[in-house]
Structure 1
Amino acid sequence: MSSSTTAAASRCPVAHAGHSAPNGCPVSARAAEFDPFQDAYMEDPAEFVRWAREQEPVFYAPKLGYWVVTRYQTIKDIFRDPITFSPSIVLERISPTSDEALQVLKQYGYAMNRTLVNEDEPVHMARRRVLMAPFTPEHLAEHEPMVRELVRKAVDRFVNDGRADLVDQLLWEVPFTVALHFLGVDAEDREKMRRFSIAHTVNAFGRPSPEEQVSVAHTVGQFWQFAGEVLEKMRRTPDGPGWMRYSIRQQKLYPDVITDSYLHSMMMAIIVAAHETTAFASANAIKLLLQHPTAWRDLCEDPTLISPAVEECLRYSGSVASWRRRATRDVVLDGVSIPAESKLLLVVASANHDGDHFVDPDLFDIRRENSAEHLTFGFGAHQCLGKNIGRMEMQIMIEELSRRLPHMRLAPQRFEYVHNVSFRGPQHLWVEWDPARNPERRDPSVLGSRHPVRIGAPVARDMVRPLVVRAVEAVAEGIVRLRLASPDGRSLPRWSPGAHIDIECGETGLSRQYSLCGDAARADEWVVAVQREAASRGGSAWIHEHVRPGRVLRVRGPRNHFRLDESAARLLFIAGGIGITPIMAMADRAKALGIDYEIHYSVRSRAAAAFEQELREAHGGRLHLYVSQEGRRNDLSRLLAVPDERTRIYACGPERMLGELERLAARWPEEALHVEHFSGGARRLDPSQERPFEVELRNSGLRLQVPADKTLLEVLRASNVDVQSDCEEGLCGSCEVGVLEGEVDHRDSVLGRAEREAHQRMMACCSRARCTRLVLDL
């Protein structure tokens, strides 16, 4: 180690001998210098810790006195275990408070206690269950008209000016007013409240100088007294509107759960939490969209993209840089030993750019399939209660601006931030535009249009990508290959073998899934092959009859629930007819990795053997072609006669073939067979034939009842639990949730035999419980 590293290590709280971290010590030179209280961290925390995410995912930062955690799965695992990783330090001051500042706080009677964000179990979930009803989508929908009116009036005030600071004139004012309305607090002096919020953030998450601490203490003390005064006023009118009055009424029913001290602390904390993160998130989002003009243009032209765009903005540049936790026992994180009572800084902004979870994480893609899996809202029992009201506000503000000022652009400026470890967003956001080009001057009807708000995570069907058909080529009898590209020549997101896309066929929105079968390394095009089915339900027939070069198709994805196990010693690929499409990319990948593999491809006739020549050129003797009209059929029983624990089987083709494979593979290891279906098997919900069941959400601490006339997906959404979906037919795999306990009545066409028998995953849109209770990994 260098001398500077040695000096830093001398302040490290753990023994270094035999440590598995780089250099045998949890403090490397870069770790020793880590300091989040600077512009570079506030501007882009994910980039600031890229070195750690890639090389030292967990390190000790002596300047901060915290262990810093940077990778997605590790942070998510910490969130899901609030017993081992206590949230008790979330509001703890980063810097020790001076005696003078403490005396100032004492003068005001400051006694901030536990709130929903920093209390331990079992008290936390007891309070959360009692207080969460107003945050459900059903109740939040009641606030939408008020939010729209606030946004419209705010934009009215500057729409003809040609220049505005969106933070001052829209993005702070609207969330603040909505927060007060939601809480039931009368509007007070706005500038005073803004000063209170900033002081609270600096006090809990910043590093003020001793002189600044005294000034901040006075403001925080005034805020504490103000919160108490508001609370007492509400107690005199407990039947009035707002969440805080709801909490006061709940206190009468649950006095041991909702205490006086708790209500006072929550009043102060929630005034900040209810608007500050939304204001910052909105500023970050609009800044980001305007820095990516193509994304902004796409969103302006297609408002269905607003909900997915909000989610990608929260992932790419969210308002929460980090959360904090305390280890209650000795643990090991990413190979690093962490002693009990250690403080952890979980850099969620870094987790949201982790390439092990998000494909091409530094690409800003408003159609990203899994953007809603970001950790900006946290995860599990302490996930942000107000996430959906924040999403609603962001969607409405972006919609109003995109509809009325689509020509808006960022003005030249230097972005400034309040330095702290947790919350980030520019203090000002200057934009410019030419008022003469305002659409409403030419068409006043612009003012009256509205796009439906999505309360909750976006649905996959809204993540539409327009792609132009570059070529249509006949590759076999009744089979055409489509080459698809961005209309403007932009690169397309990367995909992995086994991935498919959804193509909307015709004007009805009918959607069909097609495997990607081109070169996965090419970013300029996606390739699919479509066979015209004799009993087409409208998808394949429409493509064959109407799709020509130059046509623009609406495409979603890519999505992959047929992933290749690249650690396998041997791969056996089995395809029937058009099922060769996902197998092609898998075989190419196996060849590139040097894995032993064979391809067994069955077709009805030589004329129907799509890609035969390409496959022979690429794979030579590893390709085995079976043409039934020529008397050669694949003997599956012979092929699978001897189980081999080293081999993984990947198959796609007719349902009869897949059923036979599942029967024959019953003697093989459970994880051996993987199949891809492209026909739905889920039956419609018939309440007269169903039975209700209970689900426990292990990470969220909720117990929910799924009645006979509701799907699990519907119940989860109604309870403010994020689950994405698309087809809702058990075919696409979007709504998959993890199962920890219980047996599942699988009704999807996604999971293979081994996956079904394991009862570790289920599709929330269609599958149900075989038992009376399931425990889910949510």
Structure 2
Amino acid sequence: MGHKFAEIGFTQAVKEVQARLGSRKGYEGMEGGEDFNDRLGVAETAFIQARDSFYMASVSETDWPYIQHRGGPQGFMKVLDDKTIGFADYNGNRQYISTGNFANNDKVSLFFMDYPNKTRLKLLGRVKLADVNDSEMLSQLQDDDYRARVERAFVIQVEAFDWNCPKHITPRYSEAEVEDIVAARLAEAKRLEAKQLEQAESKPVEKAENLGRLSPVTLGEGPLSLVISGIRQLTPEVRAFEFKAAGGGELPLVTAGSHIRVPVLLNDGSLVHRSFSICSNPSRRNFYEIAVLAKRLSSETGQGREHYLHKSASHSIHHNFQIGMVINCDLPSNHFDVHSGTEPAILIAGGVGITVIKPLSQYLKSRGVTLSLHYCGRSIKDMAFRDRLEREFGESISIYPSDDNRRMNLRHVLSRAPKNTIFYICGPQKMLSEMKFMANELGIDSDRIRSEGFGGVVDSSVEDKAFTIDLAKSKLKLKVAADESVLDALLAADIDTPFSCQSGSCKQCAIPVIEGKPDHRDSVLTDIEKEQLQLFCPCVSRSKTQVLTLDL
């Protein structure tokens, strides 16, 4: 009869569809000659014994198929001979759907998946249930290291199998497999670094315009050494990067809303640092995750596009960060004031602002805080983490994709909130400005609003003028030109001051003002931070007085 899987799977109805769609002739050759693909060979045996999970389908008396995932230690599915496989079934599964189905219909379909190597094996067979009295069979199938009680064994007579096309298998890795990959990459990184050091003296200096094409194995000099252990494409423009401790073990504890300052090699060859929200669940200490937005550009050439490619940290991260790369970062920091009481919370995210709001929501939920989450984006496909958040928060989350004409009514959201609600918002400047205006109109105290923005803007309604900054600790006076920022003036004078976003949205550069009247243009400082703590963001803010004295 030939290929046994084709004999079972290619029913008359299937053959008619194959003929109609033009694939029938290609399969006819499988149906002649001696039987094959009904006895396990060396390849099939090794593949099955290397698996730690599989999918199993049965059929009930209602003719409905039921599929179940089974997992265990590697090799828990045993190959007894070339026609027989089996596994032990332990107590704990109380539904007994597969067991009941096999009592009525012994036919089974199995899928064995090797995700890292994009390989799958389909197997058809007949199941015999061996109960606890069949001690000989149970002794062959049970795992000595598993302490649960064996209730039965599934013994499967192989009828047919088929190796399936790997084209659309997405590679996935277990934690152990990731650790092996990272260990191998680290070893290779150390070998390459040693080789590069040996060649450094004889190698000509690399031109700056070519540095962006390199992917250094180690970057930065910060105290926290991290290795890139995973990369995921969340949306067409947002990519997530997972970091683990380069030396193994737990990472420093972070709180919801924390940022991490990451070293980035720009395509023009300069090394800069940028802060990104740690968007993984703050309760997790085995990894951090950041999500980076890099705008897609058209293929058209031009000075604007070339400048972006050379100066965009996000673009450089997307193109140069690779699994196994080590980045030495600053320790995480947090400037987000998360309330510690039981007051209800409303969290609002616009676009990539979800990277801040997601961990805040998860943290507040873990504390039992009543909350509602509002997420705005251009379209469903552009909204990172949407599916995960919908599963996690259910009816507590509202999604607003603007391309579907679903827009958040901010007035409605704010006016219906209980009087003691704490508001968290992160999004573009327009959203933050609307929030500030609406809250003021509704009489909501600014102390109840915690915000963070991106894409800082400068008030261009008045022409900027030059002024002087007086650095109290450094005993220096610096001129700030009309067309430069305070931060630019500080860096030009070799003043060592931290900074990151350069858009007034992260607080990394905030400096206390001692004297003078600042012109605040950031989107992140609260009224208390501005008025009582006298903080000032030199990356975007300016001075309303001729001299501004800073505690620097």
TM-score (norm 2): 0.49
Structure having the larger proportion of residues in helix: 1
Structure having the larger proportion of residues in strand: 2
- Of structures 1 and 2, the larger Rg is shown by 2
TM-score (norm 1): 0.36
